[in-house]
A and B are shown apart, each in its own frame.
Chain A
Amino acid sequence: MLLLPLLAAATSACGILYTDAKVPRGWRTASPSEVKSSPDDPLVQGESCAHAVLWLVAWGDSSYDRALKDALQHAPGGPRDGIMYDVRSDLKVKAYVLGLYTKECTVLNGKLAKP
């Protein structure tokens, strides 16, 4: 019976002693018809992560905003501004030893149009 709350705590990006973490909530992304899209628009990927150790301490930034910054930073041809569209947003969680260490990442995949 104790396992379920522990697993819930381990995957909730919250620490009992200290928490300073950003988590994604919502993003109404654009479709191709809603931006100045072109067939040459590059595919970009961005990731942002938060961590928790021993269910006691949690930190990091797995926000949409950070993941988008990461995607723009690693755009093909160097960092540039743009609007992501056709976005797939996924959550990637890694937990070891019943969640003694947990890493929770927001992963964005999409195309980048001119702003």
Chain B
Amino acid sequence: MPILTADMTAGTLTTWRKRVGDAVKRGDIIAEVETDKGLIDVEVFTSGVIESILVPAGATVPTGTVLALIREEAGAPLSVAPSTPVEPVPAAAPAERPAPAPPGAIAEVPGRPRISPLARKVAVELGVDPASVRGTGPGGAVTREDVERAAAARLKPPARPVEPPDRQARMRQLIGAAMARSKREIPHYYLGTTIDMSRAMTWLAEENLKRPVTERLLPGTLLMKATALALREVPELNAVGRGAEAVPSPAIHIGVAISLRGGGLVAPALHDADRRSLGDLMTGLRDLVRRARSGGLRSSELSDATITVTSLGEQGVETVFGIIYPPQVAIVGFGKVVDRPWVVEGRIVVRPVLAATLSADHRVSYGHRGGLFLAAVDRLLQEPGRL
């Protein structure tokens, strides 16, 4: 069972994609695991035949538990060690030292470097030849940290010994790997529109005058509610992707991209965003941001988002096109509200406007539907009192 987050201690193996006796090759998906980050495909990094399955479907086991044994064509049984998932996130410990996984998690093929599947996966991602890495693991096995040190040393000759990447650096690395996979496997299409925000901002200022300070609304609340309601009209954008297919979600849980103090990013879910009042959304958003930055997010919040909304307006960015975060099938971006010339009934006036974008999976939706979604967001923001 792979370790997917810093505090993950167990996962549920929901579905086996292979059976005893099936041949597998490197890169094959062998099982689906449900974790606090959602359903994750577990890949194998060796070739052979499945000799035995040790964890039945539906079982929840601690991280580090050996899931199955694979008999390589010419060697002893090799345990399927937890590998880096298709959606890597910061992990607290390398999979090659899990308990109670046996040392068989390390490859034992004669003539090849002793290296764990996780370390081999990282080596592939970083372009490092495992044979060139000096291993510091048990019996000289190459660990993930060994691979990362080799990659860092190759990029910049160190004046002093290279320190292992800190946690923020590892988070960047894992997020980068996830985004690289998303760009590689998901055919993104991109749409953008400019929305007149004058009615929304005027309504917001008047509404906040009526509210006590603890109940004031931020503009982002209006944007998220409009997004959630627009998804009711274009539900295929609010789905969970399974390769080329997607299952629309009955609920709309908006993943809110939150920057962490000191660096890093997390996108926990605001559940049922379409069914909550603006005040309730604002309360939920404040609580989510607080717990995201201080620790204490719930696993459901990390796994339940059906679409992500990102905004870099506060950093002065006018337009942002996001990268889809699997297994979601779309991501919405909002920019900074800026005053711009705007044509109203043939006259040029100044209006506060905002760029709204959609990045979506072309296997699941077409540009026409994406356009309808953005048009719906625009329309909904013209009647903020009805959000």
A and B assemble together: no
Point out residues on A near B: beta carbons under 8 Å: none
Point out residues on B near A: beta carbons under 8 Å: none
